[in-house]
Amino acid sequence: MEVPILKQGRYLIATIQAALSDEDLLHLRRALLERVIQFRSRGVIVDVTALDVMDSFATRTLRDITYMIRLRGADTVIVGIQPEVAFAMVQLGLTLEGVATALDLEEGLAHLERRARSSS
């Protein structure tokens, strides 16, 4: 299932809908990068509220997405990680170091706004 990407002003919002396959994730990575370039976006929010498992592959891909988008001068914030998922992630050893996280969409947007203000 492809991940819909919404453009909201200078930001992009990708909402992951359900259990993702690897292709979906890799497609998301490609699509986000293209859109960031196309729209000169300042920030990206990846909403993972619907994800019920975050394994090492998914984590690594999200981290890569963040790094690649940073190279284009934009910020990424991952929002909506579920309590159980976070618990499993840290047990596994996946801490998403260097990747910004926020509670939900609203907080994610607030985070990007702050980043924009502090760097302009």
Q: Which residues bind ligand ATP (CB under 6 A)?
A: 56-57
Stretch that binds another protein, among 3-11, 29-37, 38-46, 89-97 (CB under 8 A): 89-97
Binding of another protein by 53 (CB under 8 A): yes
CA distances from 43 to 10, 53, 78, 86, 87 (A): 7, 25, 11, 23, 27
Nearest-approach distance from CB 30 to another protein, in angstroms:
16
Asked if 64 interacts with another protein (CB under 8 A), we say: no
E runs forming strands in the chain: 5-8, 11-15, 43-47, 75-79, 100-102
- Window 15 to 34, contacts with another protein (CB under 8 A): 19-23
67, interface contact from ligand ATP, another protein, none, CB < 5-8 Å by kind: none
What is the signed CA dihedral for 52, 107, 72, 25, rounded to 10 degrees?
10
